[in-house]
Structure 1
Amino acid sequence: MKEESRTNIGTPVPDASDPEELHEQVERTRDELGRTVEALAAKADVKAQAKEKTAAAKEQASEKVALAADQLRGKAEQATRLVKDKTPDPLLERTAQAAAQVRDTASKAGQYAAGKAPEPVREKAGQAASFARTNRGPLIVSGTLLAAFLLVRRARGRR
């Protein structure tokens, strides 16, 4: 290709006397044009861009939720340890005894109610029991906190 055979936009003009060079120039131009068209099509595909941004936002939100859940779990464990450490042993024993009595009474009441209750009520009770089984830890912590609160309140009332 000769230096003087250039257009004013900087693209070399092939020497018309060499058909191979002309063919190579056409192939290069086709490749460049194909890449340009693909790039323009990608920029014009608003739906695909929206999907990509949505997926990225979803992933980022999931990461933040997981981080917050981990932090919350850690703080709950710390609060549980603190309550257990600060609660006197006799109180913990009484709470455990009360929990056992409540379980026993609830079991008896459940058996009695199962024989007397209509089917929709039994179904709702089964759902509540399954919820309590799956969330046993938080319910125990909540019960312990409630019992400690009530005992402290009761002790302050006697003064």
Structure 2
Amino acid sequence: MTQPPHDEPTAQNPEQLRDQVERTRQELGRTVEALAGKTDVRARAQEKAAEVREQAALKSGELKSKAAEAASRVQDKLPDPVKDKTAQAASQARAKAAQAGKLIQDKAPEPVRAQAAQAARVARDNRGLLLAAAGTGVALWLLCRRKG
């Protein structure tokens, strides 16, 4: 075993020796904790997963914002008859979704109902974005149909 370099002066009395031993123990404890942290694959994976989730949430928010802005710009450029048809189509879509929801609620097993309820909550929470996307889709479809 090699001798560590003598950075510290030699202890003159037992009290100084005890202090040096305590400092060495603390340094060794910090070193062991650092090494244990580096070798704890599960904890590092969880930290990385949390980091990735946070980045994904930020990116998702940015994308939703950009999509809503783009949909708003497209809707602003549409002529009034197309806007009216878009609103009418959105209304019909809501009615059909309500009918489908009732049918699912009556016929589906419990796990499917739970998933449908969760999807409905997400749709309600993002209603504006969903309607803007639907309106944009209908408007584009009508414009393409008009040209063709």
- Please give the range of the TM-score, normalised by the shorter of the 2 chains: 0.5 to 0.7
Gaps (5+ residues) in structure 1?
Answer: 1-7, 15-21
**CA distance in structure 2 between the partners assigned to 1:126 and 1:60 by the alignment:** 29
Corresponding position: 1:39 with 2:27: no
Q: Does 1:134 align with 2:122?
A: yes
Whole-angstrom CA distance in 2 between matches of 1:65 and 1:50: 22
Counting only pairs closer than 5 Å after superposition, residues 84-103 of structure 1 correspond to structure 2 as: 84-103=75-94
Checking the alignment, whether the CA contact within 8 Å between 1:132 and 1:139 is kept in structure 2 is: no
Q: How does 1:15-30 map to 2 (within 5 A)?
A: 22-30=13-21
Give a deviation string over 1:66-116, Cα, whole Å, max 9, x none: 3212210221121111111111112111222233345456657877x68xx
Q: What is the aligned partner in structure 1 of residue 58 from structure 2?
A: 67
Q: Aligned to 1:45, what secondary structure does the other structure show?
A: helix
Higher CA-based Rg: 1
Report the equivalent of 1:57: 48
- Matched with 1:79 is 70
Helix, strand or coil for the counterpart of 1:11? coil
Aligned alpha-carbon RMSD (Å): 3.9
Q: Which amino acid aligns with 1:79?
A: A
Contact 2:71 2:132 in 1 (8 A): yes
d(CA) in 2 for partners of 1:96 and 1:126? 30
Find 2:135's aligned residue among 123, 144, 150.
144
* TM-score (norm. length: structure 2): 0.64
TM-score (norm 1): 0.61
Task: State the number of aligned residues.
Answer: 140
Identity of aligned residues (%): 28
Instruction: Kindly provide the CA deviation profile for residues 101-139 of structure 1, in whole angstroms up to 9, marking residues without a partner as x.
Output: 45456657877x68xxx7338x95896576356314344
